[in-house]
Amino acid sequence: MDRRSFVGFVAPSVLAMLLLILVPLLGTAWLSLHESYVKTELAEVRTTVPLFGGLSREDVRRVPQAVRDAAGNPVHVWNFVGLDNFANVLGLDRLGQAMAATPVRIGQLYRDVTSIEFWGALEFSLLYIAATTPCVLLLGFALALAVDATSRRVRGALIFASLLPFIITPVVGALSIYWLFLDNAIVNAGLQGLGFAKFYFLSGALPIRSLIILYGVWHATPFAFVVLYAGLQTLPQDALEAALVDGATRWQRLWLVIVPHLVPLFVFVGLIHMMDAYRVFEPVLVFGSNLYANSLQYMTYRILNTEDNYSKAAAASLLTVLGIVILLIPILRRMWRERQTA
């Protein structure tokens, strides 16, 4: 392919990346380094206060009002504040106080640090990744093997049924899990019917975190299943037949032939899921559990909607992007080295 054809082929993709990724990212970075407020001025407000006998008194007060431009819109002032918004999101003041406490007790230090919103959100985000990623990979692989072993007549229906949790929008999926475990919902009713005491699933950190992780596994496993199932269709049959002739057992064929063939797909699914899980948002929002299970994405949403602080929210979103990059660097470096040595 000559240079002109190559540029013509690649240019639309590069332009789309610039418009959809780089430009918003640069805008967010600029916003995170500045602080905005509405310019105000003191204005006289005269009100007439009625008195007895038909008399009245004029009351004059000076109150702050927004300065407006020629079009009548409030004038916004932007000030460069550097990394102040990042320091506020990270809670560096409280973090320094926690680190400076003497004597240093690991348990108390951990509680003090995770009580800061950012670090508490980071803690649960990493816990969510660590708990869901292996479960998604293992369950997706097991489901792919099971569907691949069934007859072709029922395989299509099984694939469709297995993909339903992934097709459902995240908010609806999180709501379905949430409604199942309400105090008077079907799960509690079933447990009571079996003779168990009523359990309040939404009353503490451990059950709420467990339900959010359960949702994450339920929602993401179909993606791992469909990718790994597609990989099983490309499995070289001659390698399996050779292993069978050599007397390999089913587990040996699985571990020595099938798994090595699917390793690139395991890595691909793991990377995609880790990036998605780091930005977990919907179940935290649906469960209303930011007291027990916060996340970085929910923290950004809360700052934007409750504090109405666009600059601080921009800093929080950039820290989330930075966290994803740091999380993926070791895996990408290992993949690059393996490819160089291959």
* 314, 31 Cβ separation under 8 angstroms: yes
Q: If you ran DSSP here, which 8-state letter would residue 74 be given? A: B
Catalogue all structural domains in the chain, each as residue range(s) with its CATH number: 1-32 (no CATH), 119-341 (1.10.3720.10)
* pLDDT band (50, 70, 90) for residue 53: low
Arithmetic mean of pLDDT, 56-66: 72
pLDDT computed for residue 108 by the predictor: 83
pLDDT computed for residue 136 by the predictor: 96
* pLDDT band (50, 70, 90) for residue 133: very high
- CA-CA-CA-CA dihedral for 305, 311, 317, 320, to nearest 10: -120
Q: How far apart are CA 225 and CA 221, in angstroms?
A: 6
Cα–Cα separations (whole angstroms), residue 177 to 93, 186, 224, 251, 281: 38, 11, 20, 35, 15
Arithmetic mean of pLDDT, 11-18: 78
Cβ atoms < 10 Å from Cβ of 162 = 19
Q: Which of these ranges, 66-75, 129-138, 200-209, 306-315, has the smallest mean pLDDT? A: 66-75
Q: Higher-confidence residue: 65 or 22? A: 22
**Residues across the chain:** 342
Q: How far apart are CA 325 and CA 66, in angstroms?
A: 41
Q: How far apart are CA 8 and CA 145, in angstroms?
A: 42
Tokens of 77: 């002032």
Tens digit of each residue's pLDDT (9 = 90 or more) over 141-186: 999 999 988 888 888 888 888 888 888 888 888 898 888 888 888 8
| Three-state SS annotation for 243-301 | HHHCCCCHHHHHHHHHHHHHHHHHHHHHHHHHHHHHCCCHHHHHHCCCCCCCCHHHHHH
pLDDT computed for residue 2 by the predictor: 65
Reduce the DSSP state of residue 115 to 3 states and report it. Answer: coil
* pLDDT band (50, 70, 90) for residue 140: very high
Q: For 83, list phi and psi in degrees, rounded to 5.
A: -95, 15
pLDDT at 7 over 80: no
* pLDDT band (50, 70, 90) for residue 288: confident
* pLDDT band (50, 70, 90) for residue 1: low
* pLDDT band (50, 70, 90) for residue 129: very high
Tokens of 112: 């003090």
Tokens of 99: 């680190």
